[in-house]
Homo-oligomer: A and B are copies of this chain.
Amino acid sequence: MTRLEVAPPHDHPVLIGRGLEPPQPQGPVALVYDAAVEPLALKLAKQARPELTLRLEGGEASKRLAVYEDLLREFARARLPRDAEVWALGGGTVTDLAGFAAASYLRGVAWLAWPTTTLAMVDAAVGGKTGVNLPEGKNLVGAFHPPRGVYAELAALDTLPEATFREGLVEAFKHGLIAGDAALLAPWDLAPGRPELEPYLARAVTVKIGVVERDFKESGERMKLNLGHTLAHALEAASGHALAHGHAVAWGLLFAALLGRELGGEDLTQPVLRLLAWTRAPAPPTGGWADFAGYVARDKKNRSGGLRWVVPYAAGDVRVEPVAEAALRAAFNAWREHAAGYSG
């Protein structure tokens, strides 16, 4: 078992291991779980004896205000008091949703994150971001509300489809690029049950912890975590969200690598191309520079102080800076050629 600590104001442990011991509840527990991990939820329920158990269908479609309201009303009907704890067991959609319900019920009760996917373990559950989508866009509503602890139970991954297992590690790979951790750039032999998995996840979480400790509310340093995400969001939108987040980010990382190379950085494209193949990413939606630039221009309105890009000059040398259009266009064209010639 690996135990990491996130410093104040987050101030909580992240435990990674198999057969984790649940902590002592500090009050009545509401267990909110993803239907996909029901056996694990029932096991946890036996140990924690929750006052209330709520089953959710995971997936992006659940991450909306109507389901948030259902959770809150269930909490209220059960008369959960201020010292109650929400235990959220599931993928990122469930931890984001239940975390936001915990953030706002009685203006904030404690919660525990039990992430059950690789993506949630290395990304969603650490950093304190909670929230839901609106029809107008993803993650537009929420709160910064760090959990009291993150419990990454590796047994949850045993039943995760291999494609989902690998796709979730795209964010870990991204953390490797940000921190220059070569081990994170080689996930090729990882699988549930392999002994290398726990230290790999621990390294990925360590990078994220470092970034969010230095910048709780995403003003500067935390923007590095958006590496590859501008194009990824454009691709997800263009695909009508049919393209999985990890796959979209992998394509976004390829664009970032090409942009870094264009701007005189090291050539990072080879490991990213291998990542695309390893995760069996499908080809991205087709679209020209005008489509991408149009998406970015609309997205830009949501940022204060103009658009900056996250550029990897080398693994471990990622900079947040403005980029001239000519360089963006050149990188985009190189990216399109890769995408057009891609055979998976």
Q: Which residues of A contact B (CB under 8 A)?
A: 27, 65, 69, 72-73, 76-77, 79, 81-83, 100, 103-108, 129, 131, 134-137, 140-144, 298, 301-304
Would you call A131 and B107 a contact (CB within 8 A)? yes
A134 to chain B: which residues have CB within 8 Å? 72-73, 76
DSSP majority for the A interface?
Answer: mixed
Residues of chain B with a CB closer than 8 A to A142's CB: 104, 107
Which of chain B's residues have a CB closer than 8 A to the CB of A298?
Answer: 79
Name the B residues within 8 Å of A301 (CB-CB). 79, 81
Chain B residue numbers with a CB within 8 Å of A143 are: 103-104, 107-108, 143
Given contacts A65-B69, A100-B104, A107-B129, 8 further A-B contacts (CB under 8 A): A72-B134, A73-B135, A76-B134, A76-B140, A83-B304, A104-B143, A106-B141, A107-B131
Residue of B nearest to A219 (CB): B82
Task: Count chain B CB atoms within 10 A of each CB in A82, A107, A304 and give the residue with the most.
Answer: A107
Q: Is the CB of B82 within 8 A of A304?
A: yes
Docked Cα-Cα span, A104 to B131, in Å, equals 8
Q: Are the CB atoms of B104 and A141 closer together than 8 Å?
A: yes
Q: Is the CB of B107 within 8 A of A76?
A: no
Inter-chain CA distance A105–B302, complex, in Å, is 12
Taking CB atoms, residues of chain B closer than 8 Å to A136 are 73, 76-77
Report Cα–Cα, A103/B76, bound state, in Å. Answer: 21
Q: Which residues of B contact A76 (CB under 8 A)?
A: 134, 136-137, 140
Cross-chain contact A304 with B81 (CB below 8 angstroms): yes
Q: Given contacts A65-B65, A73-B136, A134-B72, is CB(A144)–CB(B107) below 8 Å? A: yes
